[in-house]
Chain A
Amino acid sequence: MVDYKLELSNVTKVFQSSSKEETTAISNINMKIPNHRFISIIGPSGCGKSTLFNIISGLMEASKGEIMVDGKSVSGLSGIVGYMLQKDLLLPWRTIVDNVIFGMELKGIPKKEAKKIAIPMLAKYGLKGFENSYPSQLSGGMRQRAALLRTILYDRDIILLDEPFGALDAQTRANMQEWLLDLWDDFQKTILFITHDIDEAIYLSDEVYIMSARPGGIKDHMMIDMPRPRKPSIVTSSLFIDYKEKALALLSEEVKKAQRLEETIQL
């Protein structure tokens, strides 16, 4: 039997609106994720990707189903995984180093000790010289780095990233992808990564999950069998293009379904 780092079984979320109408956001999601994997999740907008992350991170309760980390149920517990949203959510009144140690501070680690660990990390991961700057003085990419380092330093084996590079320009995004892979390699984390970008998903991941339109479920699952480290030029290889074609076909079906759904709602 294979031991999985993270297991979701039949995770379902039903929202109850005021008029007693029920909306199923996600239904029967099953995932088995081995340790140290880089997993991407793609799907049409509104398919419940973020709901899924909220449930895994314990910020929301599932209506049904179970979440297991290392074989133990963690349903409804928060603080088990690291979670980062698209917005960097740095605290504007704290310096970068104080922001990066925020998670450690909440765990009760003395500030001095936390800083001793954080400062060399900032230097290594591209924020040298900005330790005492405030978030408003940094570019979007750098703020995202700081936010990600905060998540890493919170020191959880599993990290959820909800479109972390969605707001960045293409150039910065490419840089950040390399940077993230370095970080993933150095810290040996298990990463779940939500993105809209198929190229990004395939390039970064070991596995890609494709979600179906509402109610969100797992439509398909692709293993990306390409050796690492991958060069950026890999995106032109025939293998990569095969993956991309397959993913595009699956996704466009769902996007169309989602659009039809939206149209009927509007009617």
Chain B
Amino acid sequence: MENTELSQGISSLSKLKTKKTTHKSNLKYLENKEPKNWVLNVGRLSVFLAIIIFWELGARLEIIDPFFWSIPSEIFATWMQIIQDGTAWKDTLFTFQSTIYGFVIGTVGGAILGLSFWWSKHYAKIAEPFIIMFEAMPKLALAPIIVLIFGLGMSSKVAMAVAITIVITTLTTYNGLKLVDNDLVRMTYSLGATRFQVFSKIVVPWTMPAIISALRINIGLALTGAIVGEYIGSTNGIGRMIFYAGQTYEISLIWAGIFNLSILSMLLYLLVSKLEKVLLAGMLHQK
């Protein structure tokens, strides 16, 4: 009974009506050709110019409110001015330094803290909820108290950047730690290794890619932390410049500050991407 049904089913397979499934033209999507570089660059430049032109014309014709949006040509002039009188350099340097210090301390500190969890399960399990609690806390809300504690100088900006980067790095490292191949650890012990040798020769290299993956996120977070610190109270920095321009309604200065910041942010990102590549090249030879 079942067998006849089965054979009927099989023989009817070829008679079933189906959608057409052969398309010659699909081949072109399979080839996966990369688009040409110059085409992309022309495209990008045109989009950028279109935005600037629309903004400039729109503001001049008062389609968009020039009081809040300012005008690109004016923003550019303001920017040139703060570059010439040196304030842009000084403030950029201040923000750059606090970001880098915070980034380095936060990342290295977080990695060390995360790696330390390998040594004791008790310690790790007891600490875990506290780390998660601190991660859940919006660190930016801490800014006023951090500025009160560390003062108006650079240290409060560094502290902000550290607060915002250290926990995420700790968690990323800790997660990487959990993925360490236990057989690899056993093999190393079977070769008579000490606990410290297992840590330095297996656990640290294994967790390195996870730590490196945190770098790019951290640089953006560190910059955010530094800027917010400057908003709250600071003697220097682009954040302070933008904040004061806002209070005095110097809209073109706000925009000049924002663009200045974007360029700094991009430079930092490129720097860290480069660092990441160099570090990964030495670490990763996995499939």
Contacts and interface: CB of A to CB of B under 8 A. Distances in A.
Interface of A: 57-59, 78-79, 82-83, 85, 87, 89, 91-93, 102-103, 105-107, 134-136, 154
B285 A106 contact: no
Given A82-B191, A83-B190, A106-B188, 7 more contacts: A78-B189, A79-B193, A83-B187, A93-B285, A103-B191, A105-B201, A154-B191
Contacts of A57: 190
A93 B189 contact: no
B287 interface: yes
A92 B284 CA distance: 7
Interface residues of B, number: 21
Contacts of B9: none
B286 A92 contact: yes
Contact of A89 (B184, B193, B201, B286): B184
B190 A79 contact: yes
Interface of chain B: mostly helix, strand, loop or mixed: helix
A63 B79 CA distance: 77
B25 to A, nearest CB: 37
Given A59-B190, A93-B284, A106 B183 contact: no
A102 B191 contact: yes
A106 B187 contact: no
A93 B192 contact: no
B193 A106 contact: yes
A50 B205 CA distance: 28
A89 B183 contact: yes
The 10 closest A-B pairs by CB, nearest first: A79-B192, A134-B285, A83-B190, A103-B191, A92-B286, A89-B187, A136-B287, A106-B193, A57-B190, A106-B191
Nearest to A147: B187
B274 interface: no
Given A79-B190, A135-B285, A91 B197 contact: no
A202 B282 CA distance: 45
Interface in B176-204: 181, 183-184, 186-193, 197, 201-202
A85 B183 contact: yes
Contacts of A154: 191-192
Interface string B255-286: 00000000000000000000000000011111
Contacts of A83: 187, 190
26 contacts: A59-B189, A78-B190, A79-B191, A79-B192, A79-B193, A85-B183, A85-B187, A89-B183, A91-B184, A91-B201, A92-B286, A93-B282, A93-B285, A93-B286, A102-B201, A105-B201, A106-B188, A106-B191, A106-B192, A106-B201, A134-B285, A135-B285, A136-B285, A136-B287, A154-B191, A154-B192
Most buried by A among B190, B201, B286: B190
A154 to B, nearest CB: 6
A108 to B, nearest CB: 10
A87 B182 CA distance: 12
Contacts of A92: 284-286
A135 B184 CA distance: 14
Nearest to B286: A92
B205 A91 contact: yes
Given A79-B191, A85-B183, A89-B187, A106 B287 contact: no
A91 B285 CA distance: 9
A39 B193 CA distance: 27
Contacts of B205: 91, 93
Contacts of B286: 92-93, 136
Nearest to A79: B192
Contacts of A107: 192
A83 B190 CA distance: 6
B200 to A, nearest CB: 11
Interface in B134-193: 181, 183-184, 186-193
Nearest to B285: A134
Nearest to A134: B285
Contacts of A85: 183, 186-187
A130 to B, nearest CB: 13
